[in-house]
Amino acid sequence: MGAYTIRELENLSGIKAHTIRIWEKRFGLIAPQRTSTNIRTYCDTELKKLLNISILNRNGVKISKIARMSSDEMVQQVNRFSLDITNSESQIESLTVAMIDLDEYRFEQVLSRSIIQLGFEDAVVRTLYPFFVRIGVMWQTGSIIPAQEHFISNLVKQKFYAAIDGLISSEKTSTHRFIFFLPEGEMHEIGLLFLCYLAKKRGHRTLYLGQSVPQTDILEVARKSHVDFLVTAAVTTFGGQNRAGLIQGLAALFTNKTIFLYGSPSLLQPGEIPSNVQLISSPSEFLQAMEATTHSSVPA
C-alpha cells in the first residue's frame, strides 16, 4: 500500500537517509523499488523491516548480526525489546508496525504491558502521545489509509472508556462540573477523552458528550447540568466551518464560563482568542490551567 520516499522513511523511522543507503548497499537489509526517474521508493514491508531494525540496533544489536537474522528471529528479538517499558521508543515503533499490519494482538500486548507497569496516565504520556504524533506525520505524508487510523483509534478509545469508567466519581460539593465535547464536524476525540480522564481522576465531575455536538445542544446541556467549565478540542477545520467564528460563537454563548480549547498553538491567531477561552496544547498544560482556574472559582 505505502510508497515512501527515502526522506519520508527517514522521518518515520528516525534513521538518517545516508545510513539507510549504507545499509542497503553494504548489507542488503532493505531493497527499494525505483521509479522511471531512478528515485528510490519503499513499500510497507520495507518500512516495517526498517522499524524493526531500528529497535534492534538501538538496543545494542550490531547491524552485521541483524543482517544474518531470519525474519522470525528478528521478530522474536523485537518483541522482547518492545515489552521493556523503559524503552519507550521501541514501544512506539512496535505500535507503528502493529498499526501497519492491523495486528490487534501485538498492539494490545505492547500497550497493555505499558499500562500495567506505568499506570494509565503515564502510559498515555510516555507511549501513546508520541505514538499519535508519529501517526500524524504518517497521515500528512499519505503513508496510512483511513482504515488503519480508525483501527488504532478504536482500540485506543476502548482503553480510554475503560479507564474513565474505572474511576470512582467524586460526590464532594467542592468539585467542579466539566462538560467535554467536540464541535460540529470535529470527530477526533482521543485527546479530549484523555482530558476527561485527567479531570475525573482529580475528583471533578465530568459530562462527556462526544463528537460533533451542535451548539444548541451544548447550550441546553450546560443549562441543565450547571456547568462550571467547558472543554473542547480542534484537530480538523470543523467540517469546513470558520474555526475562529465557531470558537467566538461558543465564547459569546458562555460569557461567564471558562472554555478550554485543546489544540495546536497555531490554531488561532492571538486576536481571535476571546477572553474566556484558554488555548492549551498539551495534557500537562490542561492540568496546570485546570488547577489554577478551579482553585480560584466556586463550583456551580
Query: pLDDT truncated to tens, each residue of the chain (300 aa)?
Result: 567 788 888 877 778 888 888 888 888 888 888 777 877 788 888 888 888 888 888 878 888 898 888 888 888 887 777 666 566 778 888 888 888 888 899 899 888 888 888 899 999 998 898 888 778 767 766 667 788 888 988 999 999 999 999 887 655 555 789 999 998 888 888 899 999 999 999 889 899 999 889 888 988 888 888 888 999 987 665 444 566 777 888 888 888 889 999 887 666 666 778 888 988 888 999 999 998 887 766 565
Name the residue range of residue 216's domain.
168-295
Report how far residue 268's alpha carbon sits from residue 247's, in angstroms, rounded to the nearest whole number: 9
Q: Nearest-CA neighbor of 80 among 106, 118, 45?
A: 106
Question: Which CA distances in Å does 241 have to 6, 18, 40, 68, 238?
Answer: 36, 43, 40, 55, 5
Same domain? For 74 and 91 the reply is: yes
On whether residue 1 sits in a domain, the answer given is: no
Same domain? For 98 and 195 the reply is: no
Same domain? For 241 and 261 the reply is: yes
Q: Nearest-CA neighbor of 196 among 244, 164, 234, 174?
A: 164
How many Å is the maximal CA-CA distance in the chain?
Answer: 70
User: Which one of 136, 164, 192 terminates a domain?
Assistant: 164
Same domain? For 40 and 111 the reply is: yes
Residue 174 sits in a domain of what CATH number? 3.40.50.280
On whether residue 300 sits in a domain, the answer given is: no
Same domain? For 115 and 133 the reply is: yes
Q: Which helix (H) or strand (E) holds 230?
A: strand 229-233
> Residue 17: exposed, middle, or buried by beta-carbon count in 10 A (0-12, 13-18, 19+)?
middle
